Amino acid sequence: MKYFKNPEGGQVFAFAADGSDDEYIPAHLVPMDDAEVALHLNPAAAAPTRTMIEAERLRAYADPLIGSDRYFAEAQRESLLGNAENAETAKRLGLERFAEIQAEYPWPDEDTGAAS
């Protein structure tokens, strides 16, 4: 494909690479170079929003195998059963995993939207 851009509106148009569409290419369109085409076809991903990061954190906390919530539930159960030492161990593990998840999914910088 050959790619052209409208300099006024920025719309991109694609035409056959073999030249069979050349007669239909309006004169005002500007050919795009390889870098512009690559960027058009593979746009940069948008920075995650605070809402997106919060959703990722909540999923990670609740993961039944590697989340932090499982440790907090265990701590509550052990506490109710009167096993204070086991409850403290589970609570400590939960807090450690909670902090790891927060580090894995940092809040975005308020000014730029980038994760910090």
Query: For 14-29, what is each residue's pLDDT tens digit?
Result: 999 999 999 999 999 9
Which DSSP state fits 1?
Answer: -
91, part of any domain: yes
Residue found under tokens 């039944």: 64
Residues 34, 78: one domain? no
Q: What pLDDT sits at residue 116?
A: 55
Residues 61, 99: one domain? yes
The tally of domains found in the chain comes to 2
Residues 12, 31: one domain? yes
Model pLDDT for residues 32-55, shown as the tens digit of each residue: 999 999 999 999 888 899 999 999
Tokens of 103: 């580090």
Tokens of 26: 């309006």
115, part of any domain: no
Domain span at 75: 50-104
Residues 17, 58: one domain? no
pTM comes to 0.60
Residues 68, 96: one domain? yes
Please report the sign of the dihedral spanned by the C-alpha atoms of residue 42, residue 43, residue 48, residue 49. Answer: negative
d(CA 54, CA 77): 27
